[in-house]
Amino acid sequence: MLLILVLLAATQSRASASETRPSVVVQLARELHESPLPMRSDFAWLALTQMAEFYAEEAARARRELGHTSRAGDASQWAASVDDYARKIQSLADSITTATPIIITVGIDNSVHVYVDGQPVILTGAISGQQSVYEQRVVERFCILYICEDLLPELEYSEREQSAALTQTDATRAYWSFSQYAGPVCMTHDGLEFQFQQATDLGEKREACTRVVAELSELAMAIAREQQQGMRVDWNVLKVLPAAADEPQRVILATRIEIQLPLPMLAENPGLLKMVRPWLKARVRGEAYSLVVLNAGRLMGLGDRPDSSAVIQRYPAFNNDRE
C-alpha cells in the first residue's frame, strides 16, 4: 500500500509539473534576459510587431462579423480603439534602433514584460483567445534569426514538410535583425537577406524592404501560376516596366508575353530585380536558395552610402544553395 501511495504521489507530481511548465515564449524570455542587446532588440521588435498585427486582425474581424448587426456601432467604436492601440504598439516597435535600451523580464507568475527605452509592454495574456498562437508566431519568427536549439536545447523541433507548389500561404515576409556585423539586416524565411550599411532612418528602410519583399513574393506567385498554365519564362528578359501613378506595372515574362502587377518598387529599381533573379527563379521552382544582397539601401533607392569595398564589387550578391 505504501508503494502504491508513493507511485501515485510521484505521478501527480509529474502531472502537476507538466501542467505548470511555462510556455516556450516564457522560457525564451528567461534565456534572453541577459543576452546581448541586438538579440533582445530582435525579440522585442518581433514580439511587438506580431502583437500589433494580431490587434489589427482582431479589429478587422469585429468589423466583418458585427458590421451588419445591431451591435455595429459598438463594434466600430471598439475596433477603432483597438486599431489605435495596434498603431501605438507598431510605432513603439519601429522606434527600436541598435542603441535603444531593451529589457526583458519574467515575473514570478511567468508574465513576460518587454521594456523599450523604459516603456513597458506585457506579452503574456495580451491576446485574448489567441495567446498561444501569438506566442507561437513570435517564437517561430525569432527562430528564423537564431538557432533556438542552442537557446532551448530541451525543446523538440520537428522538420516541416514544404510543398514545391507556391500558394498564397507561402508568401515571403520580411523580418528585421540588428544582430549582423554588417549592420541592420532585413531577411526572409526563404533565403533573402538585405544588408544595410547604415543604422539611420530605420523606419524608411523597414518600409522599403517590406514593400520589396511583398512585391517579389507576388511576382513569384504570379510567375508560378503562369507556368502552371504552360507558359515558359525567359529569365534573361524578365523586367518590370514603369507605369503611370495608380496603374499596375507591365511585367515582361518573355517575348510578346506580359502580365500586369502592382510592382512600383521593382519598376523603380531594375538593378535590384536583376540581382535577385536567381533567388526568384529558385523560389518559383520551390527550391531552397540563399541570397545576400549588400548595400540594399542603394539598390532600393534610399541612398544608403556604401563602403569602399562594396563599391569596388558593384553591389555583389553572394548565394549558396542550402543543404
pTM metric for this prediction: 0.58
Give per-residue pLDDT as tens, 261-272.
999 999 999 989
pLDDT of residue 103: 95
Mean pLDDT of 23-41: 89
Note whether 139 and 183 are same-domain residues.
no
Mean pLDDT of 279-294: 88
Note whether 174 and 314 are same-domain residues.
yes
Note whether 65 and 183 are same-domain residues.
no
pLDDT reading at 170 higher than 60: no
Half-sphere exposure of 250 (CA within 13 A, CB side): 11
> Per the domain annotation, does 227 fall within a domain?
yes
> Per the domain annotation, does 208 fall within a domain?
yes
Kindly give, in sequence order, each residue whose CB lies less than 8 Å from that of residue 157, ignoring residues fewer than 6 positions away. 148, 149
Give per-residue pLDDT as tens, 112-146.
999 999 999 999 887 777 888 888 888 888 887 77
> Per the domain annotation, does 180 fall within a domain?
yes
> Per the domain annotation, does 156 fall within a domain?
no
> Per the domain annotation, does 205 fall within a domain?
yes
Note whether 198 and 60 are same-domain residues.
no
pLDDT of residue 251: 93
pLDDT reading at 208 higher than 90: no
pLDDT of residue 137: 85
Among 90, 124, 151, the domain boundary falls at 151
> Per the domain annotation, does 12 fall within a domain?
no
Mean pLDDT of 197-208: 78
pLDDT of residue 105: 94
Note whether 222 and 132 are same-domain residues.
no
Note whether 96 and 174 are same-domain residues.
no
Contact status, residue 296 vs residue 210, Cβ threshold 8 Å: no
Q: What is the percent of the chain where pLDDT is above 90? A: 22
- Lowest-confidence region among 54-63, 206-215, 233-242, 278-287: 54-63
Give per-residue pLDDT as tens, 9-31.
444 444 444 456 788 889 999 99
Name the average pLDDT for the chain.
77
pLDDT reading at 297 higher than 60: yes
* Three-state DSSP string of 167-188: CHHHCCCEEEECCCCCCCEEEE
pLDDT of residue 151: 77
All cell numbers assigned to 31? 534565456
Note whether 190 and 310 are same-domain residues.
yes
* Boundaries of domain holding 248: 168-320
* Three-state DSSP string of 85-113: HHHHHHHHHHCCCCCCCEEEEECCCCCEE
253 burial via Cβ count (<10 Å: 0-12, 13-18, 19+) = buried
Note whether 176 and 139 are same-domain residues.
no
Q: Cα dist. 80→7, 83, 89, 152 in Å? A: 55, 5, 14, 39
Note whether 135 and 269 are same-domain residues.
no
pLDDT of residue 5: 38
Cα end-to-end distance, the chain, whole Å: 57
Contact status, residue 222 vs residue 284, Cβ threshold 8 Å: no
Note whether 147 and 173 are same-domain residues.
no
> Per the domain annotation, does 84 fall within a domain?
yes
State how many domains the chain has: 2
Q: How many residues are recorded in the chain?
A: 323
Label residue 314 by pLDDT band (50, 70, 90): very low
Note whether 134 and 208 are same-domain residues.
no
Q: Residue 213's beta-bridge partner residues? A: none
> Per the domain annotation, does 289 fall within a domain?
yes
Among 108, 124, 151, the domain boundary falls at 151
Note whether 256 and 141 are same-domain residues.
no
Among 120, 151, 182, the domain boundary falls at 151
